[in-house]
Structure 1
Amino acid sequence: MTATVTDRYLTRNGAETTSIVRQDPVVWGKGAEGPLTDADLLRFETKGFHNIATALTDDEVRACYDEISRLANRPELQDDPRVIRESGAGQVRSIFDVHLLSDIVSAVARRRDLLDLVRQILGSEVYLHQSRLNFKPGFSGGPFYWHSDFETWHAEDGMPVPRAVSISLALTPNFDVNGSLMIMPGSHREFISCAGETPDDYFKQSLVTHLPLTGSPDPETLTRMADTYGIEQMTGPAGSATVFDSNCMHGSNGNITPYPRSNVFLVYNSVANTLEEPYAARNRRPDFLGKRDFTPLQPSD
């Protein structure tokens, strides 16, 4: 079912990729309302991301890393649709709903300092739109092709505007050689309307594919954006984090090094930006990809 409200971010409605100037703020709050300084907020507004050198303690990193191993090997989750496997090898690629599967991850997601940070950027109370573990085991971790999360969440989940942020928490060192996150700084100010239409149940394909398909810009657009904005890699030790705007153009290479890269992704959406019907798909995606419990998160401490 397609949403009937006015759509200011039309996508997947034509044969060509086009560009739309972002029509909504990047930073909705103010410097006095949270842990980020005015300079931090200006950098976030300009580049679309904010790096945190130490977001998790050593104990939290160890606990979360133990959790990912436990979840990946739980017999009752082997055929669970929330567990996404690499095509071919069958190794775990992603696990969704980790804040519901793990009390440890749930507590991290509701840490007061993280909530204060995202509330400051979004200027409101927040809820968890999505949570996931992304695995990139040594020698076999697959890439994630260039995309804007908001384009997908808008088209397939019904998120009205880009008033959401993700936090990527490193559970292993993120090197420049083992598939760390790449972002085009400043790209969040430009919405890319992708070509084509959304196939039914497209998530079953898009979550495992390594190729550019529906929801990804064409090579000409990506080349123009890379020339305009450049590309920065989000590297750092275990425990570091990157907070980034939902409309950042980002992706990551595969991992053929011996060094695994595992990250927890927590997606916070404003309670003033709750999901409607999909804007460019016939049906909603499963709840584990786009939560419809909009209850504001409360701190765990």
Structure 2
Amino acid sequence: MTVVDARTADAYPTRVADRPALIERAEPTVWASSIPGPATPDELAAHDRDGFHTVPGLLTPEEVAAYRAELDRLATDEAVTADERTIVEKSSQQVRSVFEVHKLSELIAALVADERVGGRARQILGSDVYVHQSRINYKPGFGGGGFYWHSDFETWHAEDGMPVPRAVSCSILLTDNHAHNGPLMIMPGSHRTFVSCVGETPAEHYRQSLREQEIGTPDPDSLTTLADRHGIAVLTGEAGTAVFFDSNCMHGSPNNISPYPRSNIFLVFNSVENALVEPFAAPGRRPEYIAARTFDPI
């Protein structure tokens, strides 16, 4: 399947006005479908209600050890660290993320196609899926940088041309996530409200935003409204746990000032029926390794 050039009507305008807005979502979270998969009815109900669900022990301890070794290999491979797909910390120059990792690692490519992962994404989205983005994230102890509150869909819509929030992310923990080492935080139920952001997207914004995002982050009043309405869940868990969350969930993570590192594999699946068009609020497309424009089903 090839690149789609056509534009669709913009149901989620963002970065085009001088004031933020809250837009209630029209699309479902769990798409009605007869597609079978590993998610239980209770997990799908939680995903629909909260915008996410956790799967403890998705990976076995042996698999966790193998993927940790793969992350170590990638982080120390000179060809990988010199590649434009590798993002380093703004202050320490340590590896922060490696993008398009399923094309750099056969082990992670196999994980994408695993029924426990890709099959669950198909079940949630009600269609065949493709990998919109993949990466590994490192958050070392004593200085691993956080990610400010944001909706991934806001960025993917504005900068990549994703029409509607019919995508799901899978974060697989390769280290224990504690409350003190920069865990993922989500506002449960926030996936039902799109926060339109203020600020025009600069050219090649991704070069700065992958280290520290400023454009595309919600205003304090909108964040306070969502937090008052939904609360904040701190997602802790043992290595091997997976979190599947909707593309429009308001989420973030704090800096890691503990001695204990936090790392994960991050996979984004988009419905093949929601293929990218031209960016809705950016002067140009982001690179293929950040936003895939080949929509072949996994």
On whether the aligned pair clears a TM of 0.5, the verdict is: yes
Code of the residue aligned with 2:71 in structure 1: it is I
TM-aligned CA deviation for residue 17 of structure 1: 1.2
Partners in 1 of 2:273 and 2:6 — Cα distance?
17
Match of 1:135 among 121, 126, 138: 138
Matches within 5 A, 1:149-228: 149-209=152-212, 213-228=214-229
Counterpart residue type for residue 278 of structure 1: P
Q: Where do 1:247-286 residues align within 5 Å?
A: 247-286=248-287
1:31 deviation in Å?
7.3
| Offset at residue 32 of structure 1 (A) | 7.1
Aligned residue in 2 for 1:78: 81
Once the 2 structures are TM-superposed, how far is the Cα of residue 119 of structure 1 from its aligned partner? 0.8
Evaluate the alpha carbon distance shift between residue 218 and residue 244 of structure 1 in structure 2; reply closer, same or farther with a 3 A threshold: same
Q: Deviations over 1:266-288 (max 9, x none)?
A: 00000101111101001000111
- What SS does structure 2 have at the residue aligned with 1:33? coil
CA RMSD, 1 decimal:
1.4
- Structure 1 gaps of 5+ residues are none
Q: TM-score, normalised by structure 1?
A: 0.95
Question: Does the 8 Å contact 2:173/2:263 carry over to 1?
Answer: yes
CA–CA separation in structure 2 for the residues paired with 1:174 and 1:242: 12
The equivalent of 1:239 in structure 2 is 240
Large movers: runs of 4+ above 3 Å: 29-32
Q: Distance in 1 between matches of 2:136 and 2:273?
A: 26
Cα pair 1:136 1:260 within 8 Å, conserved: yes
The unaligned stretches of length 5 or more in structure 2 are none
Measured against aligned partners, the alpha-carbon deviations of 1:8-48 in whole angstroms (never above 9, x if no partner) come to 01111011111100011111034773222333222111100
Q: Is the 8 A contact 2:8 2:277 kept in 1?
A: no
Question: What is the deviation of 1:295?
Answer: 0.7
Using the size of structure 2 for normalisation, the TM-score is 0.96
Residues 162 and 64 (structure 1), Cα distance of their counterparts in 2 relative to 1, 3 Å cut: same
Identity of aligned residues (%): 53
Query: By how many angstroms is 1:175 displaced?
Result: 0.7
3-state DSSP of counterpart to 2:223: helix
| AA in 2 matched with 1:150 | F
Cα distance in 2 for residues equivalent to 1:233 and 1:3: 39
Shift in Å, 1:81: 1.2
Match of 1:51 in 2: 54
Distance in 2 between residues matched to 1:198 and 1:125, nearest whole Å = 31
**Residue aligned with 1:272, SS:** helix
Equivalent of residue 104 in structure 1, options 102, 107, 114: 107
**Secondary structure, aligned partner of 2:274:** coil
Please give the alpha-carbon distance, in whole angstroms, between the structure 2 residues aligned to 1:101 and 1:133.
Answer: 11
Alpha-carbon offset, residue 78 of structure 1: 2.6
Aligned twin of 2:17: 14
CA deviations on 1:43-77 (whole Å, 9 max, x unpaired) are 11110001001111112111111111111111112
Q: Distance in 2 between matches of 1:267 and 1:228?
A: 27
Whether the aligned pair in 2 keeps the contact of 1:167 and 1:241 (CA below 8 Å) is yes
The worse-fitting range, judged by mean Cα deviation, of 112-121 and 156-165 is 112-121
Conserved in 1, the CA contact under 8 Å of 2:35 and 2:127?
A: no
The 8 Å contact of residues 81 and 95 in structure 2, kept in 1 or not, is answered as no
